[in-house]
Amino acid sequence: MKRAFDILAASVMLALALPLCLFIAVAIMLTSKGSVFFTQSRWGRNGVLFRCLKFRTMVTNAESWLLEDHALRKMHRVNGFKLGLDQDPRITLVGQILRTTYLDELPQLINVIRGDMSLVGPRPIVELELDWYGDQKTEYLSVRPGVFGEWTAQGRRRADYPDRTLVELSYVREATLLRDIIVLSRHLPVLVFGLAEGVWFVWIRAIKWIRGWVRRDVVDTEDTQDAESQYHGFPTKDGGDAKALDSQEVISESAVA
């Protein structure tokens, strides 16, 4: 029953989101080099690794950057294997918008249709995160990971490790189709708030860009006016007269001729 619900709901969501996905793909291609998608090995049901899909939100060398930057890697681990938008220099401009609105997760609907993930479940994790589950690893891996879940329903105030393990395992132990529907409904305000934040982010960036453009235009205009003023007889930067200098040059050229 759950699998049938996953396939039907994910297929409908993906069909409705297809125009948005195409727009996001074009935006990524136009603003940064590299693939549209980012894939990473995550733990799936029964301990089977799979390639988890996302829209790429970082520079192409993001993973090697993390390995080579010791300070960034330490911050990443201390923060529960995640970094804030203001902490991570690897995130692109389009990536900041996608992460703020949670739209970077849309390709995981493909993972759901393929059977790698479920629509609702504990979030898929990397190998280092699995250590936090200790003796309960097998229990955690007994279900398909989800696009949505109890942990993601917490919005911006998500629990960090080790408290996160309790949240994820609570779903594993009490998973039902009814609970899935409740969890999905709890994501509505989270997604709406994320979209609002994304619109606000774009608005602020647009205002900053317009201000920068206006300032450059004003500076260019002032430089042009200054040059014209100097040519029409006003003092030049070296204290001379631009018009007089032009006359002297003409006389000098006539004398040479």
pLDDT in tens, 44-78: 999 999 999 999 998 888 778 888 888 888 887 77
Q: Given this model, what pLDDT does residue 140 score?
A: 95
- 45 and 116 part of one domain: yes
Residue type present at position 42: R
- 146 and 252 part of one domain: no
3-state SS track over the chain: CHHHHHHHHHHHHHHHHHHHHHHHHHHHHHHCCCCCEEEEEEECHHHCEEEEEEECCECCCHHHHHHHCHHHHHHHHHCCCCCCCCCCCCECHHHHHHHHHCHHHCCHHHHHHHCCCEEECCCCCCHHHHHHHHHHHHHHCCCCCEEECCCHHHHHHCCCCCHHHHHHHHHHHCCCHHHHHHHHHHHHHHHHHHHHHHHHHHHHHHHHHHHHHHHHHHHHHHHHHHHHHHHCCCECCCCCEHHHHHHHHHHHHHHHC
Domain boundary among 196, 221, 244: 196
- 167 and 73 part of one domain: yes
Read off the pTM: 0.73
**Does residue 202 belong to any structural domain of this protein?**
no
Q: Given this model, what pLDDT does residue 26 score?
A: 95
Q: Is the pLDDT of residue 200 over 80?
A: no
pLDDT in tens, 163-198: 999 999 999 999 888 999 999 988 887 877 777 776
Name the residue with higher pLDDT: 241 or 147.
Answer: 147
- 78 and 158 part of one domain: yes
Domain count, the chain: 2
pLDDT in tens, 85-143: 777 788 888 888 898 888 999 999 999 999 999 999 999 999 889 999 999 999 999 99
Q: Is the pLDDT of residue 234 over 90?
A: no
Q: Given this model, what pLDDT does residue 243 score?
A: 46
Per-residue pLDDT, averaged over 208-212, amounts to 76
- 24 and 151 part of one domain: yes
Q: Are 168 and 122 in contact (CB under 8 A)?
A: yes
**Does residue 201 belong to any structural domain of this protein?**
no
Confidence class for position 35, pLDDT limits 50, 70, 90: very high
Q: How far apart are CA 50 and CA 124, in angstroms?
A: 10
Q: Is the pLDDT of residue 239 over 70?
A: no
Tokens standing for residue 15: 């069909």
Per-residue pLDDT, averaged over 144-163, amounts to 89
Confidence class for position 244, pLDDT limits 50, 70, 90: very low
- 227 and 178 part of one domain: no
- 106 and 24 part of one domain: yes
Q: Given this model, what pLDDT does residue 21 score?
A: 94
- 127 and 245 part of one domain: no
Q: Given this model, what pLDDT does residue 235 score?
A: 53
Residue 210, CA distances (Å) to 196, 199, 216 in order: 21, 16, 10
| CA count, 13 A, side-chain hemisphere, 82 | 10
